[in-house]
Amino acid sequence: MISQLLPKTVVCAEAYEDGESPETALYPEEAALVASSVPGRRAEFATVRACARRALAGLGLPPSPVLPGVRNVPQWPKGVVGSMTHCAGYRAAALAKADDVLAVGIDAEPDGPLPDGVLEAIALPREAAWALAPGTAGPVHRDRLLFSAKECVYKTWFPLIRREIDFDDAEITFSDAAGSSGTFSARILRPGRLPDGGPLTGFTGRWLARDGLLVTAIALEAKGPARS
Ligand SMILES: CC(C)(COP(=O)(O)OP(=O)(O)OC[C@H]1O[C@@H](n2cnc3c(N)ncnc32)[C@H](O)[C@@H]1OP(=O)(O)O)[C@@H](O)C(=O)NCCC(=O)NCCS
């Protein structure tokens, strides 16, 4: 699913179930991180790292451990950017060469309503009005799609800018959510500075709903219109 949302320069790998295989074997330093975790966490951790190593191979790179760094940002080999996500029934990794893509973020969620109280906690008033607009219930759960887009924004933003943003620091606008796929824009209300000194004021992303899952993705291309 996720590769449909990203440019060809981003190599994606995904899995719909866990399973023990040589591919999901962890490096000792990875295994140590989840040694006392519940089985479900160990399984998603291993499967998503198998996805990451498949994506590394797709970039022509050898397998390596994927360890958390500051604020749990996954640490990639030098010159690589990427993102990982897991939710019930889905795991994915998306990786690219930093020469092509400055940052990538992906997020997956079950296509179901958010728990009570979460929309109020994550949405700006205009976003909440969009999510709750009369006549828009189903097939896509707008509240969950909004949440996923914000998580996707955070995963793109934080590894690049290294500054926390909160849910009310990004304003998401969906171009259309009547079908099962579309685009969104994220306006960052507290802009950041890119490594080259240019401003980072927002992102454009894409989303897709299928088989009970929602996925969102952003790729900030190195030679995008605003940066070429
Ligand atoms: C970190 C966070 C974004 C993860 O999202 P999630 O939907 O809970 O979980 P997902 O399964 O989709 O993603 C988990 C993966 O995200 C990655 N991740 C964790 N922290 C990260 C960070 N600071 N930056 C980028 N990626 C991160 C990791 O690879 C993790 O997988 P792993 O633990 O197996 O290594 C989320 O838990 C969080 O802290 N959100 C609050 C911040 C936020 O979203 N603000 C909104 C700004 S608009």
Mean predicted confidence (pLDDT) in 10-14: 98
Average pLDDT over residues 89-109: 98
Q: Is 106 helix (H, G, I), strand (E, B) or coil?
A: strand
pLDDT band of residue 139 (cuts 50, 70, 90) is confident
Tokens of 64: 């390596």
Q: Is the pLDDT of residue 228 over 50?
A: no
Query: What are the pLDDT digits (tens) for 16-58?
Result: 999 888 899 999 999 999 999 999 999 999 999 999 999 999 9
Give the Cα separation of 189 and 216 in Å (integer). Answer: 20
List pocket residues of ligand 1, CB cut-off 6 Å: 45, 48, 68, 71-74, 84-86, 107, 150-151, 153-155, 158-159, 165-167, 169-170
Q: Tell me how far apart the alpha carbons of residues 136 and 179 are, in angstroms, rounded to a whole number.
A: 11
On whether the CB atoms of residues 53 and 23 are closer than 8 A, the answer is: yes
Helix (H) or strand (E) holding 30: helix 28-33
Q: Which of 34, 42, 45, 72 to mutate to test the pocket of ligand 1 (most atoms within 8 A of CB)?
A: 72
The fraction of the chain above a pLDDT of 70, given in percent, is 97
Residue whose CA is at the smallest distance from ligand 1 atom 27: 73
In 3-state terms the chain splits into helix, strand, coil percentages (rounded to 5) of 30, 30, 35
* Residue 211 clears pLDDT 90, i.e. is over it: yes
CA 215 / ligand 1 centre spacing (Å): 14
The per-residue pLDDT for 227 is 53
Please compute the mean of the pLDDT values over residues 65-80 and round it to a whole number.
97
Q: Is the pLDDT of residue 98 over 70?
A: yes
User: Which pLDDT does position 128 carry in this prediction?
Assistant: 97
Are 73 and 109 contacting, i.e. CB atoms less than 8 angstroms apart?
Answer: no
C-alpha separations of 111 from 38, 40, 90, 92, 102 in Å: 24, 20, 12, 16, 29
Tell how far the Cα of 100 is from the centroid of ligand 1, in angstroms: 23
> In whole angstroms, how far apart are CA 104 and each of 85, 101, 140?
12, 7, 24
**Residue ranges of the alpha helices (H) in 34-107?**
39-58
The reply to whether 15 sits in an annotated binding site is no
Which structural domains are found in the chain, ordered by start?
2-221 (3.90.470.20)
| pLDDT at residue 136, rounded to an integer | 82
End-to-end C-alpha distance for the chain, whole angstroms: 29
